[in-house]
Amino acid sequence: MFKNAIVKTPSRSMINGITSATLGQPDYSKALIQHKDYINALKECGLKVTVLEADEDFPDSTFVEDVALCTPHCAIITNPGAETRKKEIHAMIPTIEQHYKQIEYIQAPGTIEAGDIMMVGNHYYIGLSKRTNQQGANQMIAYLNKYGMQGSMVTMKEFLHLKTGVNYLENNNLLACGEFFDKPDFAQYNISEIAGDEAYATNSVWINGTILTPKGFPKTKLIIENLGYKIREVDVSEFEKLDGGLSCLSLRF
Ligand code: CIR
């Protein structure tokens, strides 16, 4: 079970965030409303939410998931692969220090963004994406081992981050899209395939028994319902315009 979440208010500069999407520029006022509802959803799942102030210097800094991995035993501050995102870690460290005694740091030339890390119990899958390299993954696995956890690397080429295309919903259930559907790494799980036209909804998140899922993806919603979960839909259309999914908007621990 998770107890805490950290989120960060979107900045006005988010309209200049990195994106590969062709959905147009985000509407800032709408993004703020959606972000508030996201916070409400986290609270409904029983989390105590720390809300960090917006930081205009970093357009993508609302996607806090990428800058730290918060495990039950330690937190690991990442070294984001995107040049414009590297310094986002500095504003996050003091907040992490309030929650963790054991904090580790990924060092260059290692890069890693925690959107590439999927937790399954004590095991962490690490996607080797354009943002996460092998040195970063090796450092991460060494830290996980130091605290009694395990990690393994997953090759990938289609998605921005690992969790853009695959997510663990607990109880052995996995949502997977595209290249991740038949990856041997995940063969042991009960995999539900998410259709290409709903790929964005693969990034649905288990929080204390409820699944947060993006609004507007009926086929995925049905799949999750049929797996027996309670669902909370959240409209995150303005973050989708920046390739950001539900999980990216919070650290949960
Ligand atoms: C980026 O490209 O870094 C942001 N626009 C989106 C980050 C999304 N984060 C995630 O999937 N964990």
Q: Per residue in 112-155, pLDDT tens? A: 999 999 999 999 999 999 999 999 999 999 999 999 999 999 99
> How is the beta sheet containing 150-155 ordered, strand by strand?
117-120, 123-128, 150-155
**Pocket lining: 115 vs ligand 1, CB cutoff 6 Å:** yes
| Predicted local confidence at residue 87, as pLDDT | 98
User: Residue 128: what pLDDT?
Assistant: 98
Q: Is the CB of 242 under 6 A from ligand 1?
A: yes
With a 6 A CB cut-off, is 245 part of the ligand 1 pocket? yes
Provide the 3-class DSSP secondary structure of residue 57.
coil
Q: What is the band of 6 on the pLDDT scale with cuts at 50, 70, 90?
A: very high
Architecture of domain 4-252: 5-stranded Propeller (3.75)
pTM of full prediction above 0.85: yes
Domain residue extents for the chain: 4-252
SS3 state at 232: strand
- What's the pLDDT band for 43 if we cut at 50, 70, 90? very high
Residue 229 DSSP SS3: coil
Does the C-beta of 17 come closer than 6 Å to ligand 1? Answer: yes
Long-range contacts, 92-96 (Cβ 8 Å, 24+):
92/6, 92/52, 92/64, 92/67, 92/68, 95/6, 95/50, 95/52, 96/6, 96/68, 96/70
**Virtual torsion, Cα 66, 72, 74, 78, nearest 10 deg:** -10
Could you tell which of 130, 160, 200, 204 is best to mutate to test the pocket of ligand 1, judged by most ligand atoms within 8 Å of the CB?
Answer: 160
Catalytic residues, by residue number, are: 161, 248
Protein residue whose Cα sits closest to atom 12 of ligand 1:
115
Distance CA 168, CA 213 (A): 13
CA of 28 to the centre of ligand 1 (A): 17
Q: Are strands 123-128 and 75-77 parallel, antiparallel or unpaired?
A: unpaired
Which pair of tokens denotes residue 180? 């991740």
CB of residue 238 inside a 6 A radius of ligand 1: no
What tokens does 12 get? 């006005």
Split at pLDDT 50, 70, 90, the class of 209 is very high
Give 191's strand partners: 174
**For 149-174, what is each residue's pLDDT tens digit?**
999 999 999 999 999 999 999 999 99
Instruction: Say if residues 165 and 202 touch (Cβ distance below 8 Å).
Output: yes
